[in-house]
Amino acid sequence: MTVHRSDRPLLEIQDLRTHFFTQDGTVKAVDGVSYEIGDGKTVGVVGESGCGKSITALSVMRLIEQPGRIVGGSVLLRGRDLLRVDDAEMRDIRGNQISMIFQEPMTSLNPVYTCGDQISEAVSLHEAVGRRQAWERAVEMLQLVGIPDPARRAKQYPHELSGGMRQRVMIAMALSTNPELLIADEPTTALDVTIQAQILELMKSLRERNRMAIMLITHDLGVIAEMADDVVVMYAGQVVEQSDADTVFAKPHHPYTTGLLASIPRLGEKRQRLEVIQGVVPNPLNLPKGCLFKRRCPHAMPVCDTPPPLQEIARGHLSRCWLTPAGEPPAVGPEATGELAEAAASALQAPA
Amino acid sequence: MEGTQLGQIPAKATTGAGQGAVDEVDLTPVRTYWQLARQRFMQHSLAVVGLIVMAILVTLALVVPTITGSLYAKTSLSLANHPPSLLNPFAPLGYDSIGMNVFIRLVKALQTSLFVGFSAVSIIVVVGITVGAIAGYVGGAVDNLLMRLVDVVLSLPSFFLIVMMVALFGTGNAIVVIVAIGIVGWTTAARLVRAEFLSLRETDFVQAARALGAGDRRIIVRHMLPAAMAPVVVAATLGIADSVVVEATLSFLSFGISPPEASLGNMLTNAQEFFYRQPILILYPGLTLILVVLAASFMGDGLRDALDPRQRVRK
């Protein structure tokens, strides 16, 4: 399924499964997700709320809490499986090789300590440096993320800073150890649009400077267009489409991606009504049989009662849909072969 | 990682990254949480009175017995039942039925009571924080086990448990009294800390600390405890009053500190025997006890209002 390259990518997520064992049943929040992130690449992960984007990221960091559990798959960081290293090693990787910034800059900083304290803590957790050095690094990092008068700001408490400033502090903290991979979980959602642009600009310039890869989780396709090299579209815990950014925007294949793109308002375009994807994300406790998107899909057909595989429809372009690469309904007949034929046959046999 | 990586980040990098940043540095002086708390405490007049009274009592209890040494236990029958007199600076409260200097004895008793109170509260706080933090942080079966232990301790009649422990391990020993009060009293603190931890462990900043690679101990001690301290400080202050009363009661029933060591409780017992001859003797330890308890309670109230600004309902 994955595209093979001669050198190993930085991060390979393979068939990751994270389930939540609730009283009402098992929620398969992430169910067989695979994708990879190359060195210095930015991968945008998109999808509606609750589709498993953040849970995938938290699984990579091994920060899943009860009642959730990673039940299968592997997460390879430079070939080393993070799901199999011990806790101490994992702590060393967190914040050092992989850093994460969160959606809520307002609450992600500890209100009890100054910004400088918190950045120096991040530094001293992973490097044998003295207090003075750590503090100097903190001030340096604050300057790097574009905070004016960093020496003074370092002595201030989080409540004395605005949201945009706090997100800068979070970024400074995440980058203080020069990670190879930055996981940004909706880094701009809580910020207003102008600050959003500033933060994205900042992340771009830091990405180039530090040559780090970014896993960018968002439901804002505008942010993806701005930042991402590759795009992973998720729906109900699965990857439904995966490709480079240009292809996804120019030639989306999966009806869900098409729907997402159609529901963006565009400047200067006259439309009566903004298109929406009908319906809601299915209840994770009661997923439909077959294709998870079929209830909302404008192209739903009998064959959709069988779960479609994630298949390569063009070079480097994967889609989990029965539609042909050209977007036509698949031909069901004697000429059909392989999985599709079996699926069509079983769909005709009995209305499950 | 290696220090060389630091070098990769140019020190002068603001211009590129920070062009959009227009925030100005705010120069207004900012009052920290503790400064604000102190200000609110100072506005609580009863609490300030409590603090002053407590300061005077603690100073007396520290200074006077150091000067007078073992005089508190000295009997001289020739002076027995000498009445109080302000003209006698050495024995303003007179002498008791066996000729002990009442003032010196009273201050020594105050020292004992405060020592027991503060020490017992220290045990309560340390045990309570440890148990509560572990229960709240780890959760699950550990939490269940520890909280059921709390329930068990709470379900026992605490005073009789203390009496039993003191009777078993040494009547008249202050350390035994302290430990007994501590063993019985840590439950409230544990519950408070656990409750705080349950909500704190879900906060984003704890999650962020974990994502930075901080270990459990570091997260508990550095990131969660400071935020959980306010209710513990209040409970501890109020706990001083409780512990002092328990110690006095024990000593009054002659389970606690026994003569010739002085305690407010055994002074009361002693005075009770001579109630008809010298009723005033019962007043000194009684009033002192009330002063200690009220001072601690008022301080506790003041701290509660000062540390939790949201909870200012009553005026």
The alpha helices in chain B, defined as continuous H runs, are 4-7, 14-17, 33-43, 45-68, 102-138, 140-155, 158-169, 174-200, 204-211, 216-218, 225-252, 264-273, 283-307
Q: What residues pair up with B158 in beta bridges, in sequence order?
A: none
d(CA A278, CA B288): 76
What is the four-CA torsion angle of B68, B73, B74, B80, rounded to 10 degrees? 110
Cross-chain CB nearest to B25 (options A94, A110, A152): A152
Residue scoring higher pLDDT (A42 or B309): A42
Assess A89–B contact: CB distance below 8 Å, yes or no: no
Task: Give the percent of chain B with pLDDT over 90.
Answer: 21
Say if CB B289 and CB B245 are below 8 A apart: yes
d(CA A159, CA A169): 12
A137:B6 CB<8 A: yes
pLDDT at B293: 92
Cis peptide before B260 (omega within 30 of 0): yes
Cross-chain CB nearest to B211 (options A63, A149, A168): A63
Say if CB A107 and CB A157 are below 8 A apart: no
Tokens, residue A139:
């001030």
pLDDT at A3: 43
A178:B9 CB<8 A: yes
CATH number of the domain at B34-306, please?
A: 1.10.3720.10
* Residue in the block written with tokens 């935020």: B227
Q: What is the largest CA-CA distance in chain B?
A: 92
Closest-CA distance, B217 to chain A, in angstroms, reads 12
Helices B102-138 and B45-68 cross at an angle (nearest 10°) of 120
Mean pLDDT within A188-200: 81
Residues of chain B contacting residue A178, judged by C-beta atoms under 8 Å apart:
1, 5, 8-9
For residue B66, name the pLDDT band (cuts at 50, 70, 90): confident
Residues of chain B contacting residue A140, judged by C-beta atoms under 8 Å apart:
6, 9, 11
Residue scoring higher pLDDT (B89 or B138): B138
Residues of chain B contacting residue A152, judged by C-beta atoms under 8 Å apart:
25
Mean pLDDT within B18-35: 56
Say if CB A144 and CB B9 are below 8 A apart: yes
B25:A148 CB<8 A: yes
Mean pLDDT is lowest, of A253-257, A313-317, B34-38, for B34-38
Q: List phi, psi (to 5°) of A21.
A: -95, 90
pLDDT in tens, A239-271: 999 999 999 888 899 999 988 888 887 777 676
For residue B254, name the pLDDT band (cuts at 50, 70, 90): confident
Cross-chain CB nearest to A95 (options B16, B17, B211): B211
Assess A160–B contact: CB distance below 8 Å, yes or no: yes
Say if CB B192 and CB B235 are below 8 A apart: yes
The DSSP-derived string for A35-95 is: EEE-TT-EEEEE-STTSSHHHHHHHHTT---TTEEEEEEEEEETTEEGGGS-HHHHHHHBT
Report whether pLDDT(B20) > 50.
Answer: no
Closest-CA distance, B200 to chain A, in angstroms, reads 11
- CA torsion through residues B264, B266, B270, B272, sign: positive
For residue A6, name the pLDDT band (cuts at 50, 70, 90): very low
Residues of chain A contacting residue B21, judged by C-beta atoms under 8 Å apart:
146-148, 164-165, 168, 198
Tokens, residue A51:
């589709």
For residue B315, name the pLDDT band (cuts at 50, 70, 90): very low
pLDDT at A290: 86
- Enumerate the domain spans of chain B: 34-306
Residues of chain A contacting residue B214, judged by C-beta atoms under 8 Å apart:
91, 95, 121, 125
Average pLDDT of every residue of chain A: 85
pLDDT in tens, B71-85: 777 777 777 777 777
Angle at A67 between CA A63 and CA A71, to 5 degrees: 70
Helices B283-307 and B264-273 cross at an angle (nearest 10°) of 150
pLDDT at A4: 44
Query: How would you class A209 by CB atoms within 10 Å of its CB: exposed for 0-12, middle for 13-18, buried for 19 or more?
Result: middle
pLDDT at A345: 60
pLDDT at B127: 94
pLDDT at A348: 57
Is pTM beyond 0.90? Reply is no
Mean pLDDT within A114-142: 89
Say if CB A31 and CB B105 are below 8 A apart: no
Report whether pLDDT(B6) > 50.
Answer: no
Cis peptide before A309 (omega within 30 of 0): no
Cross-chain CB nearest to B213 (options A102, A125, A153): A125
Task: Give the percent of chain B with pLDDT over 70.
Answer: 86
CB pairs under 8 A between A and B: 136
Report whether pLDDT(A90) > 50.
Answer: yes
Report whether pLDDT(B9) > 60.
Answer: no
**Amino acid, single-letter form, for residue B195:** A
Mean pLDDT within B248-272: 84
Residues of chain B contacting residue A157, judged by C-beta atoms under 8 Å apart:
30, 32
Average pLDDT of every residue of chain B: 81
Assess A99–B contact: CB distance below 8 Å, yes or no: yes
Mean pLDDT within B144-163: 90
Assess A63–B contact: CB distance below 8 Å, yes or no: yes
Assess A209–B contact: CB distance below 8 Å, yes or no: yes
Other CB atoms within 10 A of residue A336 CB:
16
Report whether pLDDT(B308) > 80.
Answer: no
Say if CB A148 and CB B14 are below 8 A apart: yes
pLDDT at A339: 63
pLDDT at A285: 83
Q: What is the largest CA-CA distance in chain A?
A: 75
For residue B27, name the pLDDT band (cuts at 50, 70, 90): low
Residue scoring higher pLDDT (A283 or A342): A283
Mean pLDDT within B165-180: 85
Q: Which residues contact B111 (CB under 8 A, 6 or more apart)?
A: B61, B62, B65
pLDDT at A146: 84
Report whether pLDDT(B21) > 50.
Answer: no
- What's the ipTM? 0.72
Mean pLDDT within A99-125: 87
Say if CB B194 and CB B135 are below 8 A apart: yes
Other CB atoms within 10 A of residue B261 CB:
17
B20:A94 CB<8 A: no
